[in-house]
């Protein structure tokens, strides 16, 4: 980074550090909620009779809406006050959590997740931009390290927390736990978090930009999630959305239409933001931020990494619980290997950054993530021990902790404080778009692979005909929950004495499909590694003395 006169920078007060802690807990709450659901999904699917598409929406709608709203709420926080928006976001988030816990249908749960996302959209950019405004000089690097570590740590702890709460209570508690924590964070924030605002230098509110970005991101993730179910080109089934129907006999599926809408909306968004800049009106996204090469390459790296990371977090719990037959708690412990690795990395990240610089540490972290994910993909099988899955997850977690903790500060290192709100909101948006796309890509890859691997595995076990096709479809649509039901029924199932053979065949097929999905995740992590190489070069060019 560029050198500053740190001697002239006042040290943060004890209240500032307490405020950082409170903001970190609030941030951890919403990041945790993005991953805590994964390990509980099989239980939720069975209880509420969700399809694989429903399950993807339970995971993805939270990330989709969060991504769609972050630019708007980041801008709003700069205008109205970041503390005020943070507190309002907490209230909405807790209300959504209460509704999610009380859900008895897929529709209610998905709606509750949408409300949670609206609240989370107020919390996330307010935390980062407040940290960027309060902490200066060498203290800012430490504060960013805390912020990044909370993201990686909370994301990794989510599966363990979800496993414990689901097994020892019910899945409803993964949402109920947000109520007391949210209340404590709200009260603590009133006394410890300072109010900060951005500098508003231009008139107007960019409503059109907000709508275009929401339509573009929403349509993109919708298309990826619904593609396997509705058909990528020719419609497979009708779509009924709030009484509006896209028929199954239409000449084209709605999926390519959604892709076209996404492309048009995002292109118009960029054109519109350029127009707002030209006429000197308030813009949702300051495209000038992307003239900083560290910001551009850093965001591209963050997007690729988020896609890979959340793809793994989505698909692994389904494999561990449904295919391997592990208990929810055992699956949570296996996935907690990521958290163990991330916390180990947290202790060494600062020392590595001092030696190799933040961009170099990001590169090391992503190298470990790629190695861990690739090993994981090669390890996945129909009878793999959970501990064999945990070992590469420790390596993956080490990389996750190193990369996440250092990437945030690197991306924002050259961004002026006056536009830190937009810069931090943009980075948060990129992360959330990546997480939504990660779940979407993983679900699509899993669904497409299952359509091939399940019939093939059943055929190899000499299960053929309409009954075998029906069994394969039921397993795919339930994201593997059919396997749990067959194991529980044993010889009392409709398959009788052939149940064990069918379960083994379906397990083989599910493991093969999981391997394919993790390979897809690894490709995105590898793209992130390439982006990190470019980021390091850009950082060196911007501040040669720091590297």
- Within 13 A of 460's CA, how many CA atoms are on the CB side? 12
pTM for the predicted model, two decimal places: 0.77
- Give me the pLDDT at residue 498, please: 84
- Give me the pLDDT at residue 547, please: 47
Any idea what the Cα angle at residue 51 is, between residues 46 and 52, rounded to 5°? Answer: 110
Mean pLDDT of 294-313: 87
Are the beta carbons of 15 and 192 closer than 8 angstroms?
A: yes
CATH code 2.60.40.10 for 12-195+282-452+510-546? no
- Give me the pLDDT at residue 5, please: 43
Return the DSSP state at 495. Answer: T
Q: Given a cut of 50, is residue 253 above it in pLDDT?
A: yes
Higher pLDDT, 137 or 269: 269
Q: Given a cut of 80, is residue 146 above it in pLDDT?
A: no
Q: Given a cut of 50, is residue 252 above it in pLDDT?
A: yes
Higher pLDDT, 208 or 161: 208
d(CA 354, CA 361): 9
Lowest mean pLDDT among 52-56, 79-83, 240-244, 302-306: 240-244
Q: Given a cut of 80, is residue 99 above it in pLDDT?
A: yes
Lowest mean pLDDT among 68-77, 437-446, 500-509: 68-77
Q: Given a cut of 70, is residue 499 above it in pLDDT?
A: yes
Higher pLDDT, 119 or 50: 119
Q: Given a cut of 50, is residue 6 above it in pLDDT?
A: no
| H/E segment holding residue 257 | helix 254-278
- Give the list of residues 6+ apart from residue 271 with CB closer than 8 angstroms, or none: none
pLDDT tier, 395 (very low <50, low <70, confident <90, very high otherwise): very high
- Give me the pLDDT at residue 519, please: 94
- Give me the pLDDT at residue 466, please: 86
> For the chain, how many residues are written?
547
280-294, 308-322, 363-377, range with greatest mean pLDDT: 363-377
d(CA 62, CA 74): 17
Q: What is the mean pLDDT of the chain?
A: 83
3-state secondary structure of 171: coil
φ/ψ (deg, to 5) at 136: -130, 160
Any idea what the Cα angle at residue 369 is, between residues 364 and 375, rounded to 5°? Answer: 125
d(CA 61, CA 252): 25
- The 3-state secondary structure of 354-391, one letter per residue: HHHHHHHHHHHHHHHHHHHHHHHHHHCCCCCCHHHHHH
Among 545, 284, 521, 306, CA closest to 426: 284
Mean pLDDT of 404-429: 74
d(CA 413, CA 305): 19
Q: Which two tokens stand for residue 200?
A: 């508003």
- Give me the pLDDT at residue 3, please: 41
204 torsion bin: left (phi>0), alpha (psi -120 to 50), beta (else): left
pLDDT tier, 373 (very low <50, low <70, confident <90, very high otherwise): very high
pLDDT tier, 8 (very low <50, low <70, confident <90, very high otherwise): low
Lowest mean pLDDT among 99-113, 362-376, 410-424, 457-471: 410-424
3-state secondary structure of 239: strand
CA 545 to chain centre: 35
Q: Given a cut of 90, is residue 100 above it in pLDDT?
A: yes
Higher pLDDT, 520 or 408: 520
Are the beta carbons of 229 and 237 closer than 8 angstroms?
A: yes
């Amino acid at each position: 980074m560029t050198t500053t006169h740190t001697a002239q920078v006042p040290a943060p007060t004890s209240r500032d550090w307490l405020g950082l802690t409170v903001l970190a807990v609030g941030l951890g709450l919403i990041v945790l909620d993005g991953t805590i659901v994964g390990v509980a999904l099989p239980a939720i699917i069975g209880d509420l009779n969700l399809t694989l598409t429903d399950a993807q929406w339970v995971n993805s709608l939270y990330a989709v809406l969060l991504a769609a709203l972050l630019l708007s709420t980041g801008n709003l926080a700069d205008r109205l006050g970041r503390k005020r928006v943070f507190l309002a976001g907490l209230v909405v988030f807790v209300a959504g959590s209460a509704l999610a816990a009380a859900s008895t249908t897929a529709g209610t749960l998905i709606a509750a997740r949408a409300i949670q996302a609206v609240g989370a959209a107020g919390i996330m950019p307010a935390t980062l931009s407040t940290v960027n405004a309060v902490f200066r000089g060498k203290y800012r690097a430490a504060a960013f390290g805390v912020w990044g570590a909370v993201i990686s740590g909370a994301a990794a702890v989510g599966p363990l927390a979800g496993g414990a709460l689901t097994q020892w209570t019910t899945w409803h508690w993964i949402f109920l736990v947000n109520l007391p924590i949210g209340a404590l964070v709200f009260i603590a924030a009133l006394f410890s978090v300072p109010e900060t605002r951005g500098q508003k230098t231009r008139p107007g509110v960019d409503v059109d930009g907000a709508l275009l970005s929401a339509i573009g991101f929403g349509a993109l993730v919708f298309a990826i999630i619904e593609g396997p179910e509705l058909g990528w080109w020719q419609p497979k089934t009708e779509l009924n959305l709030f009484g509006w129907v896209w028929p199954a006999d239409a000449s084209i599926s709605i999926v390519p239409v959604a892709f076209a809408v996404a492309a048009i909306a995002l292109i118009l968004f960029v054109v519109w933001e350029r127009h707002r800049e030209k006429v000197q009106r308030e813009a949702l996204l300051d495209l000038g931020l992307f003239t900083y090469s560290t910001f551009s390459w850093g965001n591209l790296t963050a997007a690729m990494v988020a896609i890979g990371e959340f793809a793994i977090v989505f698909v692994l719990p389904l494999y561990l619980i449904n295919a391997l037959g592990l208990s929810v708690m055992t699956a949570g412990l296996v996935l907690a290997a990521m958290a163990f690795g991330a916390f180990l990395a947290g202790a060494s990240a600062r020392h590595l950054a001092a030696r190799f610089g933040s961009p170099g540490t990001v590169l090391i972290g992503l190298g470990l993530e790629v190695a861990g994910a690739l090993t994981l993909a090669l390890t996945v099988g129909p009878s793999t021990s959970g501990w064999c899955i945990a070992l590469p997850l420790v390596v993956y977690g080490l990389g996750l902790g190193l990369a996440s903790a250092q990437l945030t500060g690197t991306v924002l290192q050259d961004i002026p404080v006056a536009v830190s709100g937009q810069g931090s909101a943009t980075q948060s948006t990129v992360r959330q778009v990546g997480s939504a796309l990660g779940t979407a890509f993983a679900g699509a890859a899993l669904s497409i692979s299952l359509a091939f691997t399940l019939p093939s595995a059943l055929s190899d076990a000499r299960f053929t005909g309409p009954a075998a096709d029906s069994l394969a479809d039921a397993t795919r649509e339930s994201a593997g929950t059919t396997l749990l039901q067959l194991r529980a029924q044993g010889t009392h199932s409709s398959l009788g004495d052939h149940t064990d053979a069918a379960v083994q065949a379906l397990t083989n097929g599910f493991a093969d499909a999981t391997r394919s999905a993790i390979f897809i995740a690894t490709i995105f992590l590898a793209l992130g590694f390439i982006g990190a190489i470019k980021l390091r070069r850009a950082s060196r060019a911007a501040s040669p003395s720091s590297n």
